[in-house]
């Protein structure tokens, strides 16, 4: 029986049947977590420790159990200037490329900018938008530009996401819990229902996507 995969969570629950990609920050890194991503979230950019944060990310990305760089990205609804956010985002893209690790992205009201940066930087590693909550048109634009989409909280909260989720090709999505109280099993159950497939088939689809994106077996 294959495991469930949680693309993005902030808490490690240590369940045998789930591989959790636990979000970590360089300034409070916990080496007891078996599989993790590490990155500078745009909310928490601190220029005074930027170089040490990037050094820690660089070091951790070289480890096998560090599966991705993230979450990182752009957020136009915060006070940190977008120019600073873009500088920090691009610095992290360079590290992801250096170590050939995927990027887990936080993106708020900046999808055009993220698409543009992906093109300008010629990003070759997979880029996954976590917590996707937008419409089919935005989803299609991101998919056409090579992004993966991860669904969780908003899939459970917003019935209008059903048609968006159904429109995403089976080889381009992941599921996650992020910070919600609901279990990953609940997200998988809804995902299977929306795709009109059995949970085992959904697990198999996500396992294939995981193996391809993360270059390892789930």
**pLDDT value for 2:** 76
Mean pLDDT on 25-36: 95
pLDDT on residue 1: 57
Q: In the prediction, which pLDDT does 24 show?
A: 97
Please check the confidence at residue 191 and state whether its pLDDT lies above 80.
Answer: yes
The answer on pLDDT for 130 being more than 60 is yes
Domains, the chain, ordered by start = 4-214 (3.20.20.140)
Q: Residue 108's Cα: distance from chain center in Å? A: 14
Q: Is the pLDDT of residue 45 over 70?
A: yes
pLDDT at 124 over 80: yes
- pLDDT at position 112, please? 97
pLDDT, tens digit, 9 for 90 and up, residues 158-182: 999 999 999 999 999 999 999 999 9
> What pLDDT sits at residue 198?
97
Burial 58-93 (b: 16+ CB within 10 A, else e): bebbeeeebbbbbbbbbbeeeebeeeebbebbebbb
Portion of the chain with pLDDT greater than 90, in percent: 97
pLDDT of residue 18: 96
pTM: 0.97
With beta carbons less than 8 A apart as the criterion, state whether 36 and 67 touch. yes
DSSP 84-112: HHHHHHHHHHHHHHHHT--EEEEEES-HH
Alpha-carbon 48 to chain mean position: 26
pLDDT of residue 144: 98
Share of the chain above pLDDT 70, in %: 100
């Amino acid at each position: 029986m294959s495991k469930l995969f949680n693309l993005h969570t902030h808490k490690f629950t240590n369940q045998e049947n789930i591989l959790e990609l636990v979000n970590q920050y360089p300034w409070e890194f916990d080496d007891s977590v078996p599989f993790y991503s590490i990155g500078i979230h745009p909310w928490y950019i601190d220029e005074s420790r930027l170089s040490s944060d990037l050094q820690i990310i660089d070091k951790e990305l070289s480890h096998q159990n560090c599966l991705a760089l993230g979450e990182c990205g752009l957020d136009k609804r915060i006070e940190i200037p977008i120019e600073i956010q873009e500088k920090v985002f691009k610095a992290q893209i360079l590290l992801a490329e250096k170590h050939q690790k995927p990027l887990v992205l936080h993106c708020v009201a900046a999808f055009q900018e993220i698409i543009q940066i992906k093109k300008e930087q010629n990003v070759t590693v997979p880029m996954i938008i976590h917590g996707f909550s937008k419409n089919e048109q935005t989803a299609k634009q991101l998919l056409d530009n090579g992004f993966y989409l991860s669904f969780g909280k908003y899939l459970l909260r917003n019935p209008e996401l059903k048609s968006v989720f159904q429109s995403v090709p089976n080889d381009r999505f992941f599921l996650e819990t992020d910070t919600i109280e609901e279990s990953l099993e609940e997200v998988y159950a809804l995902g299977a229902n929306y795709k009109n497939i059995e949970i085992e088939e959904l697990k198999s689809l996500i396992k294939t996507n995981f193996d391809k994106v993360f270059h390892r077996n789930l």
